[in-house]
Structure 1
Amino acid sequence: MDPVSFPVPSAQPGPPGSVRLPSKAEAVDAFEASFLATVFKEMGLGRPRESFGGGIGEEQVASMICDAQARAIVAAGGIGLAERLLTAGAFADAAPSSAPSGAPDE
């Protein structure tokens, strides 16, 4: 049986089993979209109205609407969070350490 794989949406074709990690810009954009979606959900944006009866289906659609609106805002330039993270160096390249974790540096 073949293992199930979930491709990265923007992944380029490569050798079987390879995974392309997102760039810093893609990562901070995804973070900004996730942040905005969380803010929207906490504000109650897209919350189902009581007049429709509620239910799990309406809650799921409301969540998808918040996610889609957040992605659209980021695609249109966002609120500046991604740029601030990039310029602040929050996503600096981390070189793997040759020393085991917890070992004293020489």
Structure 2
Amino acid sequence: MDPVASNHAALARVARRFEAQVLGALLKPVFGEASKGLLSGGAAEEQWRPMLVERYAQSWSDKGGVGIADAVYRELLRVQSAAQAPQQERTA
């Protein structure tokens, strides 16, 4: 496999993971405000809710997310190319 392509794939994975973490942080308060009424899951629901939120966020990000991963990916590529430019000038 082409090292450049595998590096791009790795950067894309990192960007998607970051987006999933951001989405999870945004979703956490929404699920934390769930009613504690008759149909609530009680202690069991509270125990498993963080994993449910994490899974929702990861799934949302894997399906295209909200654009955070794209922006992070472009920035990672920009920073990487800027870091490689001085090295290429030294070898030329």
Question: Structure 2 residue aligned with 1:32, among 19, 25, 30?
Answer: 19
Give yes or no for contact 1:40–1:66 (8 Å, CA) kept in 2: yes
Residue 45 (structure 1) aligns with:
31
Between Structure 1 and Structure 2, the one with more helix by share is: 2
Stretches of structure 2 that go unaligned for 5 or more consecutive residues are 1-8, 85-92
Deviation at 1:45, TM superposition (A): 2.2
Question: Structure 1 residue aligned with 2:42, among 50, 54, 62?
Answer: 54
Q: Which has the higher contact order (CA 8 A, sep 6+)?
A: 2
- Seen in structure 2, the aligned counterparts of structure 1 residues 63 and 91 have a Cα distance that, compared at 3 Å, is farther
Give yes or no for contact 1:85–1:91 (8 Å, CA) kept in 2: no
> What are the equivalent positions in structure 2 for 1:1-106 lying under 5 Å apart?
23-42=10-29, 44-45=30-31, 47-51=33-37, 52=40, 54-55=42-43, 57-89=44-76, 92-93=79-80
- Seen in structure 2, the aligned counterparts of structure 1 residues 53 and 70 have a Cα distance that, compared at 3 Å, is closer
Q: Quick one: percent identity of the two aligned structures? A: 26
TM-score of the superposition, structure 1-length normalised? 0.55
Q: What is the number of residues matched between the two proteins?
A: 72
Structure 1: 4+ residue segments shifted above 6 A: none
SS in 2 for 1:45: helix
Alpha-carbon RMSD across the aligned residues, in angstroms, is 2.7
Deviations 1:85-104 (A, max 9, x none): 12234773367xxxxxxxxx
